[in-house]
Amino acid sequence: MKARTEFRARFSGLIAAMALALAGAPPALAAAEPAAKVGPVEPASIAALVGLPRYVQPRLSPDGRMLAVLVPLKGKRNLVLLDLQTRTPTVLTGLTDFDVVEYRWVGSERLVFSLGRLDTPTGSESGDGGGLFAIKRDGTGFRKLNPTVREQINGNNFVIRSMDFLAQVPGKDKEILVSANLRQLDAQDVYRINLETGARDLLTFKYPGRVRQWLLDHQGVPRVAVVSDTPDAGPSAQVERVLLRDSMEGEWRELARFEGRQKGHWSPLAFAEDNQDLIVAAQRGKNTRGLHLFHVASREFGPELASHPRYDLISSGLIRDRRGARLLGLRFDDERQQTAYFDESLARLQQSMEASFPGKSVILQRSESPRTLVQVFSDRSVPTFYLYDEERKTLEELMRSREEVEETQLVQMRPFLLKTRDGLEIPSYYFLPASHQAGQRLPTVLHIHGGPHSRADRWGALSSFGVTEAQLLASRGYAVVLPNFRITPELGARISLAGLGQLGRKMSEDHEDAAAWAVQQGFADPARMCISGASYGGYASLWALIKTPDLFKCGVAGLVVSDVERLLTSTQGDIPRNKAGVAFWRELIGETEAGWARAQEVSPARHAERIKAPLFIYAGSDDWRTPIEQTNLMVDALKKAGRPPEVLMIKPGEGHGYGKTENRVDLYEQMLKFLDRHIGPGSLPSVPSSKP
């Protein structure tokens, strides 16, 4: 059943009305539809589907003259500029070890960027990258503002100083505000940095405690601090305070105090239009977190600004101005993606563009010139980027993220509600091959996302590790189910909190219920089902073959967790170095007493003898999140049990995900052969010929 999408918004007089449709919007621009193709469609190649997109994250300079974009060079995403007048490109970075994962314009002459790995099961992460760097748009003036994690590591002594971009200093094209833990390892300060000289000024010398989050007002002044009094505790034991001051020199006063997951918890997201009250995220008696106005003077909530019945509205969906201070609108992912603006002119333009591209999502990026960058995508069309000239009313296609993938080669990303045996309703997706006929039973793969506390899969063509795998397998004749499950965030408190203490238990039952749902719908062949996934998904695949050995005919497990205790105690990975992270994992396992009894009960390497189905395991030799030790423990246990993995793939130099296109292509070539042998055409008994 398709989950019903609702978006409700009410606004006080302090904030302009958000409108998804406004009267008097300009007429829709004509958009060319792709020509219909006749006959069978040749599937896209594996390389076209799993290779690096050609263009990612294009962003206009404030003056509208330059377009920055991430482009694969030397196997990594590097920063390239395009002069929109001359169409001349300039390569700004030439990285070979890291990807540029995030960047910002600072004025129209400079950019700042940070590094990481983009191809992980849960999305991009800094890993051993991070850092913060600045460069001018002509390629000069490079400056290292903060080194990468890799540079800071000294043996096994992890003392990491991080630095994150907050905003451009208002009225200053050479200065930025950053959050960094330079003064105290477990707390953040705000610094003002001159990109020309590298001079760094501490702005938060009146230190209110162990600050984990700063909030800037419209003038860039850090006036709200979220303080953690228990930085090493897990979420259930965390004590947190929200502090406010009236000016840079003002005294801090406490607005709220929260202990653990107590009811009434709220998080500050932005200053309201008056620069005094706050826009906060809170449940306010509901299952999901919405946006609310919080009156600072009275410490009372004003009207609800926006909410969704099934999905949380989160800070990453806020659309801010170029300086990062003022809130312009909201973008949120439900079954697909929606955008709503506080700003009336942006709301009108959004409506016009959505009318021009029916059935597709539109993302706007307006410059200070008449030029606006328009991104258009859907579950079947890869992101395409247009340049809209508001004076001339022209819309010019600039680039497609993947030239080799056509809309006809992708299938619909179908939403459904996974109803679990204990009554949860969890939004999820499934994919059917284009050739599927009603009533036809297909070989089916259940792909489990990583994290597990991550909403990894969102609507959009090849938008994530899981969606890409699903599209690839669907193009080769497989049905694929991408279930979310309890603990997955952004789907409301009932779903998220239901996962605590349930690793390998009810979380795994959710995967089983998703398989049963696919069979009940009539498209999955119960005799030809396989489970796959990486990171937590790799763990889930291993544990499913142990917990329910007759349910799945095979398993594909990548970047695996095989011994939960070792994952949280071994010095070979990065999780044990984060006390709060270990505390959260103990909550997830349900370890309320000293020791690791419950972890051992659900660790696949300790129960390998129960696996009967064929197994494909893959890993990266340099993985820090789920270190190669975890793979070795599982392989050794399987060999001892007389059930070695049928396929074992370990790629040297790779981390928590395969960054090299040739390695991803090899992975899926071997995976398709494995699936074909066990649940695909190669698994079917041969039919004797009727001819004599």
Its pTM stands at: 0.91
Per DSSP, the residues of 452-514 read: SSS----SSTT-SHHHHHHHHHHHTT-EEEE---TT-TTS-HHHHHTTTT-TTTHHHHHHHHH
Task: For residues 442-453, give the mean pLDDT.
Answer: 97
Write down the pLDDT at residue 12. 29
Mark 423-448 as b/e (b = at least 16 C-beta within 10 Å): ebbbbbbbbbbeebeeeeebbbbbbb
pLDDT at 134 over 50: yes
CA distance 395 to 664: 36
In this predicted structure, what is the pLDDT of residue 38? 46
pLDDT tens, position by position, 207-216: 899 999 999 9
User: Average pLDDT, whole number, for the chain?
Assistant: 90
**Banded model confidence at residue 150, pLDDT cuts 50, 70, 90:** confident
The mean pLDDT of 462-476, rounded to a whole number, is 97
- What dihedral do alpha carbons 619, 622, 623, 628 form, nearest 10°? 60
pLDDT at position 263: 82
Q: What is the pLDDT of residues 602-620, one digit of tens each?
A: 999 999 999 999 999 999 9
pLDDT digits (tens, 9 = 90+) for 194-210: 999 999 999 998 889 99
Task: Name the least confident of 126-135, 357-366, 421-430, 562-571.
Answer: 126-135
Q: Which long-range contacts (CB under 8 A, 24 or more apart) does 359-367 make?
A: 361/336, 361/337, 361/459, 361/460, 363/331, 363/339, 364/339, 365/59, 365/60, 367/60, 367/61, 367/62, 367/63, 367/64
pLDDT at residue 535 in the model: 97
Q: What is the pLDDT of residue 122?
A: 79
Is residue 586 within a helix (H) or strand (E), and if so which, with residue range? Answer: helix 579-589
pLDDT at 692: 38
pLDDT of residue 1: 30
β-pair partners for 647: 616
Can you tell me the distance from the alpha carbon of 29 to that of 26, in angstroms, rounded to the nearest whole number? Answer: 9
pLDDT, residue 506, reads: 98
**Given this model, what pLDDT does residue 421 score?**
98
pLDDT > 60? residue 2: no
Predicted confidence (pLDDT) per residue in 235-268, tens digit: 888 899 999 999 999 999 999 999 988 888 999 9
- pLDDT score of 642 more than 90: yes
Residue 579: which residues within 8 A CB-CB, separation 6 or more?
231, 232
pLDDT at 28 over 90: no
Residues in contact with 664: Cβ distance below 8 Å, sequence separation at least 6, in sequence order:
50, 51, 119, 658
List, for residues 487-526, the tens digit of each pLDDT value: 999 999 999 999 999 999 999 999 999 999 999 999 999 9
pLDDT at 288 over 50: yes
Above 80 in pLDDT, residue 219? yes
- Nearest by Cα to 569 from 557, 581, 558, 559: 581
pLDDT of residue 176: 97
pLDDT tens figures, 38-70: 457 899 999 999 998 999 999 999 999 999 999
127 pLDDT more than 90: no
**Among residues of the chain, what percentage have pLDDT more than 90?**
79
Residue 586 near residue 598, CB atoms below 8 Å = no
- Reduced to 3 states (helix: H, G, I; strand: E, B; else coil), residue 10 is coil
